[in-house]
Structure 1
Amino acid sequence: MKLDIKRFTEHALLVSNVFILFLIIFFDRIAVPNWLQSIGRMHPMLLHFPIVLLLLAFFLEFFRFKTFDTDKKSSTNFSTNLLLCGTLLAALTAIMGLVLSKEEGYTGNALFWHKWAGVSVVFVASTIYWLRTRPWHKIKVAKIGAVIVTACLIIAGHYGAILTHGENFIWEPIISTSKTATVPIDQAKIFEHVVMPIFTQKCVNCHSTEKAKGNLILADVQSLLKGGKVVNCLFRETPKLAYCWNVFIFL
């Protein structure tokens, strides 16, 4: 990487870290304009690139200390540039994620762990980049840093998958947690045995306690009765619809 480009990238990384820290400190006071929300929604599209680059960079980091590496300067420069690009992309991804989380409906433990694991990836990887040329940065320190970043990536990815696809998305085909006992048709309740399973399979990914789009939670009857932003507006305009909704739930 040319010196001018590398210097610009390093400055961009430093600014990104400061901006992330600013977003975290003043998160509750920040109002995101509509045009910026579109940038935040690019978070799922960009996040795969820094994951690959960082994992590859920390994998190559171990070879920097091997005696059989005949061209250490070239390999060190390559791994350094790879780490720099991966960390900068991770920082941009974290910024987009923080902007996206300002939209309504993102709450709960999954968001908490996803956010802090992602931010930790940026801060730890940035620290490693800026300190990796120090004399005390040997293979043991490199291993510890690689393990920490990898663990944060796994945690962030796991809870990100919960936010996007719901809980047990990966293991659901194996453990089949969503299966319920078969009920005879003459004993079945319309809502409990017919409608609710559909909500569970198709709707709770975006309407659960972890991610409540439109403030509507479809995970249980109590939350359904509370309605949501759009549903409550409809109920105020058409009281008969609210009555039918309550009757339908208890059928």
Structure 2
Amino acid sequence: MIQEFIGHFHPLFVHLPIGILAIAVLLKWWFIKKPIEQSAEVMSFVLKIAFVSAVFSCITGYVLQLGGGYDEEMVSNHQWVGIALTVFTGVLAFKDFPQKVTIGILGIISILLAVTGHLGGSITHGEDYLSFKPAKKERAPITDINKAVIYSDIVQPILEEKCYTCHSSKKQKGELRLDTAEWITKGGENGTSFVAHDTENSILFQRLLLPEVEKEHMPPKGKPQPTENEIKLIEWWINEGGDYKMTVAETKDRSQVAGALKSLTAVSVAAISTIPFEKGREIDSKALEALKETGAVVLPVGESSNYLSVNYLGKKSIDVTALQAMLPLKDNIVWLKLNDTNVDDKSCELIAECENLTQLYLGGTAITNEGLKELASLDHLQVLNLTNTAINNEGLKPLSSLKDLRNIYLFGSKVDKNNWSELEALFPNASLDSGGYVVPTLATDTVMVVKGD
């Protein structure tokens, strides 16, 4: 108890010699430029104060490191450089030297001061606290969230960013390390870090929930704090058993973290191009004219691109012949817009042959769950519009294998919003849009009030 009390004074004392010695170097430079009669006495007084404070820093620092929890090699280097700094300061404080020797010793003191300060900062804040590296490492994107290993791909990056400063091979606050599965399982001075399936008795999780001002809150106040999504993911991992090899697909319940998992996926919806990078195969001009004759508006999706957009805008009735006219160009068609037409489940068989489709609009059509199954082969599909259709939750399940799917529009469909979280878990990489937006009324808006009879 007394040892811990004395050790806690080290951060207080350690800053005194740093500031005082910096002043001493500046004073010496000033006295060289503008000497005064009392310059020697002033320098001696300043250096003696620096020496005394350095001695107290060494003593309290030594006592602090006896408690353990720090990287031994780094602490040893910090300790001996600090002792060397104290010795040189004492020699200069209590013995007179010629000016050139004094300047040389002050130079050595400056170097030692910088080194010991850097080592102390590395012990406290981590080795990379003073570097040109980005403060935050970019987390590698997860391309297939269902195949992600929960610990190594999701939980460990959170611990590395938010916990390793105090709980790694370099420092073990509370005798706890969180940098490997073995050390996490072992726990620290308060016992095991988590209890599988039991977050209420898992210290690792409960410390995250404490108010930031609490002494036992982790991470400590002033350190980067985990986001709400990150806390949810750690809670979910523990509730699922805290297994170090389990994948997302092997979990029992993902509904509560569907949004958090989606935030970890490879790229945002806006960043994806629905236009293939390749130029595409040459367009058959005769087939193109034949398709246009069915009433379709056919346009290239980009300059010098052989990929096509086919739009039956304003054409309510499309017969089988019109859809069959697309087949000679099936490799070229990437956008197909059939909103508010009479296409049905039988039409889906022909649509599915356009394997390069990235955007498909079927809003307001007679398509049902049965027809939607045919579209599960469209591996490149990214945007799917099913607004105002009879599609429900069950009908969407066959499409969960489409890993490129990023936007699904479901306004006016038969999808049950009460089970929305299940759909989000089913499509972790996609944005599900249910529409029905409500624009709030602002104080500056003009509002018409109609009186009843």
TM-score, with length taken from structure 2: 0.41
Aligned CA distance change for structure 1 residues 88 and 176 (closer, same or farther; 3 Å): closer
2: CA distance between counterparts of 1:55 and 1:165? 22
Aligned to 1:113: 77
Specify the code of the residue in structure 1 equivalent to 2:161.
Q
Matched, 1:92 2:64: no
Distance in 1 between residues matched to 2:7 and 2:174, nearest whole Å: 18
* 1:217 and 1:227 in contact (8 A); partners too: yes
Q: Which residue number in structure 2 is paired with residue 41 of structure 1?
A: 8
SS in structure 1 of the partner of residue 166 of structure 2: coil
Distance 2:85 2:127 in 1: 23
Q: Which letter does structure 1 place at the counterpart of 2:102? A: A
Query: How is 1:209-228 mapped onto 2 (pairs within 5 angstroms)?
Result: 209-228=169-188
Q: Which runs of 4+ in 1 moved over 6 A?
A: none
Partner deviation per Cα, 1:83-137 (whole Å, 9 max, x = no partner): 1111111111111111101112123321111111111111111011122x2xxx2
1:187 aligns with 2:143: no
Of 235, 245, 248 in structure 2, the residue corresponding to residue 250 of structure 1 is: 245
Q: Which structure has more helix as a fraction of its residues?
A: 1
Task: Work out the CA distance in 2 between the residues paired with 1:246 and 1:231.
Answer: 18
Query: Are 1:58 and 1:83, in contact at CA under 8 Å, matched by a contact in 2?
Result: no
| Counterparts of 1:109 and 1:177, CA distance in 2 | 26
Larger radius of gyration: 2
Q: Of the two structures, which has the highest relative contact order with CA contacts closer than 8 Å and spacing of 6 or more?
A: 1
Contact persistence 1:162–1:168 (CA under 8 A)? yes
- 2 CA distance for matches of 1:64 and 1:76? 9
Comparing 90-99 with 140-149, greater Cα deviation is found at: 140-149
Q: Which runs of 5+ in 2 are unaligned?
A: 196-201, 203-237, 247-453
The question of whether the paired residues in 2 share the 8 Å contact of 1:114 and 1:160 is answered with: yes
Gaps of 5+ in 1: 1-33, 236-240
Structure 2 residue 92 is matched with structure 1 residue 168: no
- Alignment partners' CA distance in 2, 1:190 and 1:153: 44
Paired residues of 1:65 and 1:138 also in contact (CA < 8 A): no
The amino acid across from 1:127 in the alignment is V
Verify the 8 A CA contact 1:41 1:100 in the aligned structure 2. Answer: yes
Retained in 1: the 8 A contact 2:185–2:194?
A: no
**1:130-141 maps to which residues of 2 (within 5 A)?**
130-131=94-95, 133=96, 137-141=97-101
Instruction: Give me the whole-angstrom Cα distance separating, in 1, the residues matched to 2:67 and 2:181.
Output: 25
- Distance in 2 of aligned mates of 1:186 and 1:37: 47
In structure 2, what is the Cα distance between the partners aligned to 1:83 and 1:90?
Answer: 10
**CA contact 1:62–1:139 (8 Å) conserved in 2:** no
- AA in 1 matched with 2:3: L
Among the aligned pairs, what percent are the same residue? 27
* 1:162 CA displacement: 1.3
Q: CA deviation at 1:225?
A: 4.3
Query: Per-residue deviation at 1:62?
Result: 4.2
Q: What residue number does 1:200 align with?
A: 160
Which amino acid is the alignment partner of residue 126 of structure 1? Answer: G
Asked whether the 8 Å contact 1:121–1:153 carries over to 2, the reply is yes
* Aligned positions, number: 204
Pick one of 88, 112, 118 that aligns with 1:152: 112
Helix, strand or coil for the counterpart of 1:181? coil
**1: distance between equivalents of 2:60 and 2:167?**
22
Cα drift, residue 143 of structure 1: 2.1
Q: Once the two structures are superposed, what CA deviation does each residue of 1:202-223 show, in whole Å capped at 9, x if it has no partner?
A: 2111111121123322123343
Partners in 2 of 1:166 and 1:96 — Cα distance? 21
| Alpha-carbon spacing, 1:214–1:168, altered in 2? closer, same or farther (3 Å) | same
Match of 1:59 in 2: 26
| 1:137-187 alpha-carbon deviations (Å, 9 max, x no partner) | 223211221121111111111111111111211336x43573331113223
Give the C-alpha shift of residue 76 in structure 1: 1.9
TM-score normalised per structure 1: 0.71
Amino acid paired to 1:248: D
Give, as a single letter, the amino acid of the residue that structure 2 aligns with 1:163: I
| 1: CA distance, partners of 2:32 / 2:242 | 70
Q: Distance in 2 between matches of 1:89 and 1:121?
A: 12
CA RMSD of aligned residues (A): 2.7
How far did 1:226 drift?
Answer: 4.2
Is the 1:110–1:163 Cα contact (8 Å) retained in structure 2?
A: yes
Structure 2 residue identity aligned to 1:50? P
Q: Does the aligned pair in 2 maintain the 1:62–1:142 contact within 8 Å? A: no
